[in-house]
Copies of this chain bind each other. A is one copy, B any other.
């Protein structure tokens, strides 16, 4: 194949270069192009109007960081073959290929009985067939079966390029500059020791900042109360639609594909048969449908839909303690009366839940620091570290959504 070299402008990193014909073909594939129509941050743009960037953009960014990381590691003498480089780049490029419209919450409602990451693997396998097996190394790296663990850790680990890119990119597009991380410094400080990805001692403060930035992004952006309210409304809309469908109420989605997943798809289906339909589903199907439902005669559905479309969201409160069931019941009954609906139906407008985030989970996360004297230590064990026991326990906040 002829020499291909494409330079893509990226406001976050300047330029992203694609110079591998296979990777170029993958990017051009409709399955990948679909990611253009899935927002990286779902409804976060209701609070941060700049946050309209896409999953395609994020995965291109992560691919770029992968290139930088591999370059640094090779410069430090880590053995990485051409094929492994290609595999790792493809693996990160496609890490979100199985992502459905909007957030994971919606995914679970639409695609019953199949886990998000399983869909990614299924699509990777489908692509691998179409590309005559040339994606096998990528699949091995993605699923962790490739012998070089550090390649998998770069795709999915505590210091993977996925979260490095999304923190950077989400910080950039939201304008929450405090979420920015010193990704280039961290990348330069990566080392491989006994096959595992670690960071040099000198990067401790950068990693601390990375974890604190992530903490800030969670509480200030991802779990921003307005964002949570909008996402919960979307879930409630799909719940209501499912209920109406079960009750035989006529209601059409804007697209045939969305209709299929709402009406025909069953949890015990062999999902592989529907993969093609899934790869045509994106945010526009969902949003256009919700816009249509604004005029639906079911008052619960149309009220929720109009609320989301016109940004008249449910009110939401966060607090450290669970909300009293009695208070919730009172509000629910009040809403039931005002809207002349049953208390059961009022649960579409009044409900509670939890938002949880851990700054550093000492059980799951293992950011290993590699000291000059060959000692390896978990970052939470380092002297005077910011990251310690206390930050390691999850912070749970309780929320109450209700109709104003």
Partner of A9 from B50, B56, B280, B285 at Cβ < 8 Å:
B50
* In the complex, chain A residues 296-323 whose Cβ is within 8 Å of any chain B Cβ: 309-312, 320
Whole-angstrom distance between the Cβ of A86 and the nearest chain B Cβ: 17
Inside 8 A of A288's CB, which chain B residues have their CB? 254-255, 284-285, 287-289
A310 touches B33 (CB 8 A): yes
Whole-angstrom distance between the Cβ of A218 and the nearest chain B Cβ: 9
Inside 8 A of A45's CB, which chain B residues have their CB? 36, 54
Bound form: Cα–Cα A280–B53 in Å: 23
* In the complex, chain A residues 1-46 whose Cβ is within 8 Å of any chain B Cβ: 5, 7-12, 14-15, 19, 28, 30, 33, 36-37, 45-46
Bound form: Cα–Cα A384–B285 in Å: 40
**A158 at the binding interface (Cβ < 8 Å):** no
Bound form: Cα–Cα A303–B246 in Å: 36
B206 touches A209 (CB 8 A): no
Contacting chain B: which of A131-139, A142-150, A167-175, A343-351? A167-175
Partner of A182 from B53, B177, B181, B185 at Cβ < 8 Å:
B177
Inside 8 A of A213's CB, which chain B residues have their CB? 209
Whole-angstrom distance between the Cβ of A96 and the nearest chain B Cβ: 14
B9 touches A48 (CB 8 A): yes
A28 touches B311 (CB 8 A): yes
Bound form: Cα–Cα A213–B177 in Å: 13
Partner of A205 from B8, B219, B295, B309 at Cβ < 8 Å:
B219
Q: Which of A5, A213, A287 has the most CB of B within 10 A?
A: A287
Bound form: Cα–Cα A283–B30 in Å: 20
Inside 8 A of A9's CB, which chain B residues have their CB? 48, 50, 174-176
B184 touches A178 (CB 8 A): no
**A75 at the binding interface (Cβ < 8 Å):** yes
Inside 8 A of A54's CB, which chain B residues have their CB? 45, 49, 52
Bound form: Cα–Cα A9–B185 in Å: 9
Inside 8 A of A216's CB, which chain B residues have their CB? 205-206, 208-209
Whole-angstrom distance between the Cβ of A243 and the nearest chain B Cβ: 23
**Nearest opposing residue in chain B for A56, CB measure:** B49
**A9-B48, A36-B45, A212-B212 known; A178 and B172 CB under 8 Å?**
no
The digit string for A200-229, where 1 denotes a CB below 8 A from any CB of B, is: 000001101100110110011000000000
8 more CB-based (< 8 A) A-B contacts, given A14-B184, A256-B292: A8-B48, A11-B175, A15-B185, A30-B309, A205-B219, A205-B220, A254-B255, A280-B291
**Can you give 15 A-B contacts (C-beta < 8 A)?**
A5-B75, A7-B188, A8-B48, A9-B175, A10-B49, A11-B174, A45-B54, A49-B54, A177-B180, A178-B185, A205-B219, A208-B212, A208-B215, A209-B213, A288-B289
Q: 6 closest Cβ contacts across the A-B interface?
A: A288-B288, A9-B175, A11-B175, A254-B254, A178-B182, A30-B310
Q: Footprint of B on A, CB under 8 Å?
A: 5, 7-12, 14-15, 19, 28, 30, 33, 36-37, 45-46, 48-50, 52-54, 56-57, 60, 75, 172-178, 180-182, 184-185, 188, 205-206, 208-209, 212-213, 215-216, 219-220, 254-256, 280, 282-285, 287-289, 291-292, 294-295, 309-312, 320, 359, 383-384, 386, 388, 390-391, 395
